[in-house]
Amino acid sequence: MSKLVDAAIANEVLYERIMKPMARRTLINTAEKNGVMWREEAKALEANAEVYARFDALKKAEVTYPEYYLKPFHAYAEGNLCWLAAFEAQSATYSMALRVWPKDRITAEEAQKRLRDSYTDMVRAHRARHGAESEIEPKKILDVGCSVGMSTRYLSDAFPTASVVGLDLSPYMLAVASVKDEGEPGSEKRSWVHGKGEDTKYADGTFDVVSLAFVIHECPEYATADLMKEAHRILKPGGTFVMTDNNPASPVIQKLPPALFTLMKSTEPHSNEYYTIDVQQMLKDAGFEHVCQEQTDPRHRTVCASKKRK
């Protein structure tokens, strides 16, 4: 079955004209049935003139895009560099969290909160285990690959005394993040920066926490190594690196029907590499210590590590 799906994907006409639109329709209809207002949300953002003004204000002409980033992602031909991807990102993120607990009768917001709380709880526990009492609350957090700001807002809510920077290569995502954050509690502590995770331009030792939530599966191995090296450079000594993403070893991922897994991977150009790399060893190679991984929900793992104090 998986070979059949692979062959179908390789057939451009079949994939582009039939499979992709069908998969998209199913995704949107399922989301809307579960209370995620996919089309309504995208339409409202498209009609909001402020989004385009923020794009102009946030986009930095000097930011260049690595070749691996210019591929189609998530069935958008222009990947993360287009309005449709940005207008639909929040709904897609809500739908992703709902898929983690398919049997629980919970709302999209409840699923999202569960997923994010397990992430921020692990950061707090890691900092408590490996730092002084006075250091548990971070003062500065960088959320690399913040997209439309959902991970950024949860980090900010979990660590309310911290200033949090959401950094992303897509000015489309950042424009939506900035508009959605307007007037939200704590928004004065959040800022949105157009930049590259592997070359952030921040000074050495700037942040207490660097977070990469659901970013690494979008990157080839060499980019993941560069992201880790850069995170290590800009963290303060004792600072915390944290990432979360699909857990290749989780029973849910292991038991996914091969055809479904093939289909899932077909919209993620670099996920084959993600599923084979040793994230924990790569963090050690980047100079981190106290590297530890936990399965934080049925589908995902969270990995924390500390920058050595010298």
Ligand X SMILES: C[S@@+](CC[C@H](N)C(=O)[O-])C[C@H]1O[C@@H](n2cnc3c(N)ncnc32)[C@H](O)[C@@H]1O
Find the shortest distance in angstroms from Cβ 203 to ligand X: 18
Closer to ligand X at the Cβ: 74 or 130? Answer: 74
CB 181 within 8 A of CB 150: no
Q: Going by C-beta distance under 8 Å and a sequence separation of 6 or more, which residues neighbour residue 122?
A: 242, 294, 296, 302, 304
Interactions with ligand X, residue window 255-274 (CB under 6 A)? none
Nearer to ligand X, 259 or 277 (CB): 277
Q: Does 213 bind ligand X (CB under 6 A)?
A: yes
Q: What is the pairing mode between strands 300-307 and 163-168?
A: unpaired
Site for ligand X in 76-105 (CB under 6 A): 80, 93
Decide: is 120 part of the binding site for ligand X (CB under 6 A).
no
User: Would you say 131 or 244 has its CB closer to ligand X?
Assistant: 244
3-state secondary structure 172-217: HHHHHHHHHHCCCCCHHHEEEEECECCECCCCCCCEEEEEEECCHH
3-class SS of residue 11? coil
Rounded to a whole number, what is the distance in angstroms from the first to the last CA of the chain? 53
Contact with ligand X (CB under 6 A) among 36, 122, 141, 219: 219
**Interface pick for ligand X out of 28, 58, 111, 168 (rule CB under 6 A):** 168
Tokens encoding 192:
């949105």
Does residue 198 belong to the site contacting ligand X (CB under 6 A)?
yes
Residue 170 binds to ligand X (criterion: CB under 6 A): yes
CA dihedral 147, 153, 155, 161 (to 10 degrees): 140
| CA gap 203, 235 in Å, rounded | 9
- Stretch of 30-38, 140-148, 184-192, 298-306 lying at the interface with ligand X (CB under 6 A): 140-148
Cα separation of 253 and 56, whole Å?
Answer: 40
Nearer to ligand X, 98 or 131 (CB): 98
Question: CB count, 10 Å around CB of 36?
Answer: 23
Q: Does the protein bind ligand X through residue 218 (CB under 6 A)?
A: yes
Q: Work out which of 196, 236, 270, 299 binds ligand X, going by CB under 6 A.
A: 196
Q: Which of 111, 179, 215, 286 binds ligand X (CB under 6 A)?
A: 215
Site for ligand X in 52-71 (CB under 6 A): 69
The stretch near ligand X (CB under 6 A) out of 43-51, 195-203, 274-282, 298-306 is 195-203
Query: What are 241's two structure tokens?
Result: 């690196």
Task: Answer yes or no: are the C-beta atoms of 143 and 243 closer than 8 Å.
Answer: no
Interacting residue with ligand X among 95, 147, 224, 306 (CB under 6 A): 147
The token duo for 76 is: 């958008």
Residues in touch with ligand X (CB under 6 A): 69, 80, 93, 144-147, 150-151, 168-170, 173, 196-198, 213-215, 218-219, 223
